Structure 1
Amino acid sequence: MVKGVVGEETRLKSVEDRLTQSSPPAEVGLLIGKFTSALDRAFLFDLIPTPPNDSAQPACSITQPDNKKPSKSKSQPSDSSSLFIDNDWVAEHARQVSRMLVGGMKVVGLYIWVSDAAFKNSTIMLCQTVKGVADAAPVDWDERLLLHICYGPRRWNCRNCSLSSNITSTSLRPCDFKMGKVLSSLQTFKCMHNFNLRLPILHDSASKTFSDVLRHAISIHAKELAGAKTLIDGKLVVESESYSTDAVHEVELLLPFPDDCSVEACSQKDVVGVLSLSGSICSFAYLNSKEPISQAVTDIKGDIITSLQSRLDIICDEADDDSGNNLDVGSQVGDEIPSEKPVAQQVLQLLRKGCSLPFPRRVFAPWLAGLYVCDYLQPSETVEVLKDHCIELLSMKAPTDASTILEAEKEMLSLKTKSFWNVAVPSFSEIHVMKDKSKHVSEGESSSRKAGKPGHINVVAACLVLLLSVLVGFVLFFLKG
């Protein structure tokens, strides 16, 4: 349970000044930060407002009961006002923003700018919105934060929201909140993770979709990363060691030797293809000076897997959008006719030819105090997409200097499959039939060799008789001479 919350003072004051000047009746947005289990604390980096929806309507607004009209008297303000929040839109905003965050940084909750009366009348809706955000942007934590910025009178209140299935008014509990210097105390860790994942496609998986099998492959790589040893700045990680320098710390992951049991293929009859996923992933993590060094390692490993999952989600999202237009995402090797469904949605059993699927590459843009946010670009996209997403989703100024954009992943991740469907892989019963046939053939050859021995002896005897007669003829010829 979070016992205390510390927010970056410069960013929170900037948000407060903006809200004071614009004076909207209500505003909802996301809390960006990180939970620290070792300290039972949460650190807030920034507050990001949820943009208007596709209909240009704000994500939240103040409503009044139908049987009551809002009071025009300033001395008798209406206490019946409540919030209306577009939960689905806020959750979608959280889902897209979570893809742009790097290791350790998460969507940790919501903030709401609203009067005290409207807040008290809307606790159930606020808890439901928080839960929707938690489902859209999962974090390994059983609670989220709800930060209330009250403008009458002006104050900041922070509460924990339990993610239990039954949402009640008791789901919100107050917690200690203060502002301080958070960003300046962060240390940066960077990792270039090179990998080459080759996994068999089993017969039982042939009825699953391409994306399902790929998610399984990513989960297997997550298990491999969990057991990886870590080098930081060329030294093996020691739990008690501290890294106080301001320089970027280089992280290297040493994967364990593959375990034969993880292949899961017992014999040739179980395997119908091979999936190969290889490439290089750039990952960042940010560590508070009071956190143990193991947290940076955990954040790096988690960021690598999250990055793979985010890329697959983007492919699947585009496949859903393109399915109505019959556009093919990826290509089947040697297949001249485009398939009706994108590769990500197709069943493996139908992919009788090998196929390849390019993964989006990860690019980074500077955000706050040396921190990076990221985005994923398809082969046909440029960094202008990154700039647009920074403005639209993060409400930040787009980077004007192209040199500040980090493109560490020069090449896209490569995913290829080789199908064995066209190769007649014998079943278990067919193997026995083939063995029986080979046994009969070998027995026939053996019997023919045995039957052929007398004939072989007769030929040798005839040759000996002929040679002997020739010799006798030569002897008689010389004797007569």
Structure 2
Amino acid sequence: MGRTVVLEENLIPYISKFASPNAYAVGLILGQSAGQRDYIVHFARTPRPAKEDIEEESIETNPFGDKEKETTEKPITSMKDLEENWVADHAKHVTRMLPGGMWVLGIFTVGKSDPYEDSSDRNRVRCALVQIREHFVKHSYLHGDGPSSEKLALHYNTVSQKIVCRSVDLNSTMFRPADLKIHSSPTKWHHLECHMGFDQWFPLPQSSSVRPLKRLIMDIVGNISKEIECAQCLIEGEPRDASDPVEGIGGDSQDEEVIIAPRRKNKGSLSPQASPAKKNTLPLEVNLFMPCNASEDCNDSSGVTTIDCCGEVRLVGVLACRVFLHQKATVEEAEKAVKTDIMRSLYSRLEMHWDSLIEEEQGCPEDRLTLHEPPRKVLVSLPAWNGRVELLEYIFPGEGPSEALISLRELLSLNVESSAVHECVEPAADASEFSVMHRSMEEVEPSRGKGSSSSEISHHMLVNTVRNVLSSCDDQGGISVGDARRLGSISSLDMRNAVVFVVAVTVALLAVAVAIYSSTGSDKGD
């Protein structure tokens, strides 16, 4: 049985606008995959490299060239001009902008003739799809490789204005026809939201003093990924069976917002026809509960582990998550989508952050408190879906919606206004919230003095604060930044100095007592 591809009729104008009289247009198919059925939500044209950039610039270091520089794109006159690595890099950047549960489903082409009728052209498209999968293997925390090994190859004929879709099994060389279903009625999507609170400390072993910041953060992301995978999921405050449909969750409050035909047959007053369409404004709330010890599943009973550290990294903030699921989605799919969204979002913004650093930080820097503020998430509604489906982008501190429009246009082929970018999902971070931590660290400095030994310095706590602050609202169900800020920190050196000081005072008092006793005894002897 072949794959079934669901395409809404209002998406066809978005792919037809890529038509060019003497060239092909190539891009990515974005959507959701469930079993043998794929739901297409958007077409993103892959930007072409500038002619002078093809030989001068590396795709890895600057995948899309200088966006502010007007350059002439090299057209694709035949599929021989398709550059697989360029398409794969585009897929990686686009996946950052997809919510959990959505993937790059395949590649589309727009032109006069069908390139998949030629064996060499088919092989080039398949190579591009394989390159995309290999990119996602290298960046596993993006969760970019979908649940199916079959990808889509879709072609829009500019002459006949017909669409032909095929499925490609990456484990073989077969191109099979896919059952393309074009729907004129709007597809229903379930909205789910989650706010994940972080306030965690991660020790930096002495061996990390020679490791770059990127490697240290990758280790932290790996630890968080294990915890997220083991987390227990509640939807609307209750545990659900994995096979339960999402459709039945939410009760009457969900039915008031979503347009469906009434299903209660015991009330004759209800009309058998569906009510007018309304927008779902009440998403389902999802809560994740982290295990007390994620290593318990690995039969790790070693107990307390002592690590010789040169510092610690603190990750604090609240990460906002919003996912969209097809009408027949199950609780299992919802849980996977939420967890995928959290890890994809966390990894994406941290990767963007260390890529933006002018100079790589290695080892334990002189400043014991280094504040890192990764970019925050903003959402953008897809015009074709009238707010039913949203994609996302990240903006750095000091940036606004206008900066996001560049990436939306270049990577997603979206020409929208600034008003279409919703930045209220994750408020900008306030660095002054960590002034208390700065002052506490400064108070430790005089007590150490300039004559501190190297061993004392190496054991002193270094706080590298990776700031992933997105929201501080208590009513969003996560840990508020205000609560996290009130949590104190005590270094191992401070504790050791305190113990030494108490012991020294005790010894001094005993010495004084012995001296007084000896003096008293000698007086009595006289």
Query: TM-score w.r.t. structure 2 length?
Result: 0.65
Question: Which residue of the partner structure matches residue 457 of structure 2?
Answer: 423
**Counterpart contact for 1:108–1:144, Cα < 8 Å:** yes
Question: Which residue of the partner structure matches residue 211 of structure 1?
Answer: 214
Cα distance in 2 between the residues matched to 1:296 and 1:413: 32
- Residue aligned with 2:221, SS: helix
Question: Which residue of the partner structure matches residue 331 of structure 2?
Answer: 293
**Counterpart contact for 2:380–2:392, Cα < 8 Å:** yes
Cα distance in 2 between the residues matched to 1:214 and 1:262: 26
Paired AA for residue 353 in structure 1? R
- Residue aligned with 1:348, SS: coil
Q: State the 1:363 CA deviation.
A: 1.2
Question: Which residue of the partner structure matches residue 162 of structure 1?
Answer: 169
Which of 243, 247, 269 lines up with 1:243 in the alignment?
Answer: 247
- Residue aligned with 2:109, SS: strand
**Counterpart contact for 1:358–1:413, Cα < 8 Å:** no
Question: Which residue of the partner structure matches residue 366 of structure 1?
Answer: 381
Q: Any idea what the Cα deviations from partners look like across 1:30-63, whole Å, max 9, x if unmatched?
A: 1010122xx3322111222223333445565224
Note closer, same or farther for the CA distance 1:157–1:263 as it changes in structure 2 (3 Å cut): farther
Note closer, same or farther for the CA distance 1:359–1:6 as it changes in structure 2 (3 Å cut): same
Aligned-residue identity in percent: 21
Which of 289, 308, 314 lines up with 1:276 in the alignment?
Answer: 314
Cα distance in 2 between the residues matched to 1:104 and 1:459: 83
Which of 357, 361, 379 lines up with 2:372 in the alignment?
Answer: 357
Cα distance in 1 between the residues matched to 2:90 and 2:290: 35
- Residue aligned with 1:224, SS: helix
Deviates more, 1:129-138 or 1:185-194: 129-138
Deviates more, 1:135-144 or 1:307-316: 135-144
**Counterpart contact for 1:352–1:422, Cα < 8 Å:** no
Question: Which residue of the partner structure matches residue 334 of structure 1?
Answer: none
Which of 180, 199, 205 lines up with 1:196 in the alignment?
Answer: 199
Paired AA for residue 395 in structure 2? L
Paired AA for residue 414 in structure 2? M
Q: State the 1:199 CA deviation.
A: 1.1
Residue 129 (structure 1) aligned with residue 128 (structure 2): yes
Deviates more, 1:47-56 or 1:282-291: 47-56
Q: State the 1:408 CA deviation.
A: 1.6
Write the mapping of 1:170-185 to structure 2, written as runs, cut at 5 A.
170-180=173-183, 184-185=187-188
Write the mapping of 1:228-267 to structure 2, written as runs, cut at 5 A.
228-239=231-242, 240=244, 242-243=246-247, 245=254, 246=258, 247-258=282-293, 266-267=305-306
Which of 37, 42, 46 lines up with 2:38 in the alignment?
Answer: 42
- Residue aligned with 2:210, SS: coil
Note closer, same or farther for the CA distance 1:148–1:272 as it changes in structure 2 (3 Å cut): same
Write the mapping of 1:314-325 to structure 2, written as runs, cut at 5 A.
314-319=352-357, 322=358
**Counterpart contact for 2:402–2:418, Cα < 8 Å:** no
Residue 382 (structure 1) aligned with residue 420 (structure 2): no
Residue 144 (structure 1) aligned with residue 151 (structure 2): yes
- Residue aligned with 1:398, SS: coil
**Counterpart contact for 2:226–2:294, Cα < 8 Å:** no
Q: State the 1:422 CA deviation.
A: 5.2
Write the mapping of 1:81-92 to structure 2, written as runs, cut at 5 A.
83-92=80-89
Paired AA for residue 390 in structure 1? L
Question: Which residue of the partner structure matches residue 105 of structure 1?
Answer: 102
Cα distance in 1 between the residues matched to 2:239 and 2:293: 21
Q: State the 1:277 CA deviation.
A: 0.5
- Residue aligned with 1:401, SS: helix
Cα distance in 1 between the residues matched to 2:346 and 2:334: 19
Q: Whose strand proportion is higher, 1 or 2?
A: 1
Cα distance in 2 between the residues matched to 1:219 and 1:2: 37
Note closer, same or farther for the CA distance 1:14–1:91 as it changes in structure 2 (3 Å cut): same
Question: Structure 1: which 5+ runs fail to align?
Answer: 64-81, 323-341, 427-437, 439-444, 467-481
Note closer, same or farther for the CA distance 1:114–1:271 as it changes in structure 2 (3 Å cut): same
Residue 3 (structure 1) aligned with residue 20 (structure 2): no
Cα distance in 2 between the residues matched to 1:384 and 1:26: 30
Q: Any idea what the Cα deviations from partners look like across 1:106-149, whole Å, max 9, x if unmatched?
A: 22211012354643331121112222333445314434221122
Question: Which residue of the partner structure matches residue 52 of structure 1?
Answer: 48
Cα distance in 2 between the residues matched to 1:125 and 1:353: 51
Question: Which residue of the partner structure matches residue 492 of structure 2?
Answer: none
Which of 19, 24, 30 lines up with 2:28 in the alignment?
Answer: 30
Q: State the 1:289 CA deviation.
A: 1.6
Question: Which residue of the partner structure matches residue 76 of structure 1?
Answer: none
Cα distance in 2 between the residues matched to 1:83 and 1:54: 17
Indicate the RMSD between aligned Cα atoms, in angstroms: 3.9
- Residue aligned with 1:61, SS: coil
For the pair shown, the structure with the greater C-alpha radius of gyration is 1
Question: Which residue of the partner structure matches residue 397 of structure 1?
Answer: 415
Which of 331, 338, 345 lines up with 1:307 in the alignment?
Answer: 345
Note closer, same or farther for the CA distance 1:293–1:413 as it changes in structure 2 (3 Å cut): farther
Deviates more, 1:152-161 or 1:97-106: 152-161
Cα distance in 2 between the residues matched to 1:299 and 1:276: 26
Question: Which residue of the partner structure matches residue 72 of structure 1?
Answer: none
- Residue aligned with 2:77, SS: strand
- Residue aligned with 2:349, SS: helix
Deviates more, 1:355-364 or 1:415-424: 415-424
Question: Which residue of the partner structure matches residue 463 of structure 1?
Answer: 524
**Counterpart contact for 2:310–2:458, Cα < 8 Å:** no
Cα distance in 2 between the residues matched to 1:182 and 1:98: 27
- Residue aligned with 1:409, SS: coil
Note closer, same or farther for the CA distance 1:263–1:399 as it changes in structure 2 (3 Å cut): farther
Q: State the 1:460 CA deviation.
A: 4.6
Cα distance in 2 between the residues matched to 1:289 and 1:279: 32
Note closer, same or farther for the CA distance 1:423–1:266 as it changes in structure 2 (3 Å cut): farther
Paired AA for residue 50 in structure 2? D
**Counterpart contact for 1:200–1:263, Cα < 8 Å:** no
- Residue aligned with 1:108, SS: strand
Question: Structure 2: which 5+ runs fail to align?
Answer: 52-70, 137-143, 249-253, 259-281, 445-453, 461-499, 501-506
Q: State the 1:457 CA deviation.
A: 9.4
**Counterpart contact for 1:28–1:113, Cα < 8 Å:** yes
- Residue aligned with 1:191, SS: strand
**Counterpart contact for 1:2–1:41, Cα < 8 Å:** no
Question: Which residue of the partner structure matches residue 91 of structure 2?
Answer: 94
Cα distance in 1 between the residues matched to 2:196 and 2:2: 32
Cα distance in 1 between the residues matched to 2:393 and 2:350: 13
